[in-house]
């Protein structure tokens, strides 16, 4: 559970740093740029080249895609009804649509499902949520940040996103059955290793407890989808309809119940999609999701088949 402790420490550190007089007010922008241009491309190259797809493990990989597409549709329908502006709609779609599989999910999967759970978590993250964030996530960010929607601009933004370019290169290497030599694996690991800490500190730097900054209604809409609708969708689809009663179905439900992915929050912030709301989503949904995961775990384990 070290990762969970580290999560709260980094968020707290970011909150403390933003209150220091000599600390730059726009430091989070520098951290975000470093994450997107250095850490994420390195991690994408490292892990995507090693992904081995197996048919019986397709459901955990597909889960992030299903949730994100449903999130896009859900908030697209909800926006005109609740009069949400494009910036808020984009922020909610991104942050409510992608779970924090790696940073929060890995220790939970290992705790609840042992080593096999962690192995499934890696697939769910690297072939699922990570790819969703770098493709559909960038599409959404470009779509909602543009004053006029342009297919050319959206495609351009996707191909200018460094992690996506790394993904394309890594995919070619994967299909070519290429494996990085041991020394280059170590180099990529060290370049990408600051990712989790920097991302959480960046989020902490933008957390505000000022009453006027708290966007209660949009935040509740996002949390409603992320913590309730998302795991319920996977539970109904995977367990009730498909009948996947093995731990594959259970871990997919637990993964859907996790809080928001910090990378999705950073993308929302970089594209100017209601940065305060995006920050509030990740900083509030993750602590709440620890209880949420426990509830959904009890549901899937006690469900009589």
Residues 130-187 pLDDT 10s: 889 888 998 999 899 876 666 777 777 778 778 778 888 888 888 888 888 989 989 9
Give residue 56's pLDDT.
Answer: 66
Question: Coil, strand or helix: which one is 99?
Answer: strand
How far is Cα of residue 111 from the mean position of the Cα atoms in its chain? Answer: 20
Q: What is the mean pLDDT of residues 209-230?
A: 87
Sign for the pseudo-dihedral over CA of 195, 198, 201, 202? negative
Q: What is the mean pLDDT of residues 103-131?
A: 81
Nearest to 209 by CA among 305, 124, 280: 280
Query: Is the per-residue pLDDT at 76 higher than 90?
Result: yes
The end-to-end CA distance of the chain, in Å, is 31
Query: Is the per-residue pLDDT at 22 higher than 70?
Result: yes
- What is the C-alpha separation between 22 and 299, in angstroms, rounded? 49
Query: Is the per-residue pLDDT at 292 higher than 70?
Result: yes
pLDDT category at 49 given cuts 50, 70, 90 is: confident
Q: What is the mean pLDDT of residues 226-253?
A: 94
Q: What is the mean pLDDT of residues 176-205?
A: 85
CA distance to 123, 130, 175, 233, 289, per residue, from 105 (Å)? 12, 13, 27, 18, 10
Give residue 242's pLDDT.
Answer: 92
CA distance to 66, 73, 79, per residue, from 300 (Å)? 19, 26, 32
């Amino acid at each position: 559970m070290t990762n969970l402790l580290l999560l709260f420490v980094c968020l707290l550190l970011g909150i403390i740093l933003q209150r220091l007089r000599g600390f730059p007010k726009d430091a989070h922008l520098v951290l975000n740029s470093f994450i997107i241009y250095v850490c994420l491309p390195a991690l994408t190259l490292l892990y995507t080249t090693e992904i081995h797809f197996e048919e019986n493990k397709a459901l955990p990989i597909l889960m992030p895609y299903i949730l994100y597409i449903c999130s896009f549709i859900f908030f697209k329908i909800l926006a005109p009804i609740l009069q949400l502006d494009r910036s808020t709609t984009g922020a909610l779609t991104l942050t409510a649509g992608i779970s924090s599989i790696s940073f929060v999910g890995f220790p939970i999967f290992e705790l609840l499902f042992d080593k096999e759970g962690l192995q499934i978590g890696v697939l769910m993250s690297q072939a699922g949520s990570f790819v969703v964030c770098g493709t559909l996530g960038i599409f959404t960010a470009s779509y909602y940040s543009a004053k006029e929607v342009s297919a050319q601009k959206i495609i351009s933004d996707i191909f200018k996103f460094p992690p996506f370019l790394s993904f394309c290169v890594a995919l070619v290497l994967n299909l070519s059955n290429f494996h990085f030599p041991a020394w280059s694996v170590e180099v990529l690991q060290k370049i990408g290793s600051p990712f989790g800490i920097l991302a959480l500190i960046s989020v902490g730097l933008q957390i505000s407890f000022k009453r006027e900054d708290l966007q209660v209604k949009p935040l509740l809409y996002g949390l409603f989808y992320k913590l309730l609708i998302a795991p319920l969708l996977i539970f109904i689809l995977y367990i009730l309809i498909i009948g996947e009663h093995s731990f594959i179905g259970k871990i997919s439900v637990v993964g859907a119940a996790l809080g928001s992915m910090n990378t999705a929050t950073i993308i929302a912030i970089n594209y100017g999609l209601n940065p305060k709301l995006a920050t509030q989503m990740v900083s509030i949904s993750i602590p709440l999701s620890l209880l949420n995961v426990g509830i959904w775990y009890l549901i899937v384990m006690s469900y009589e088949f």
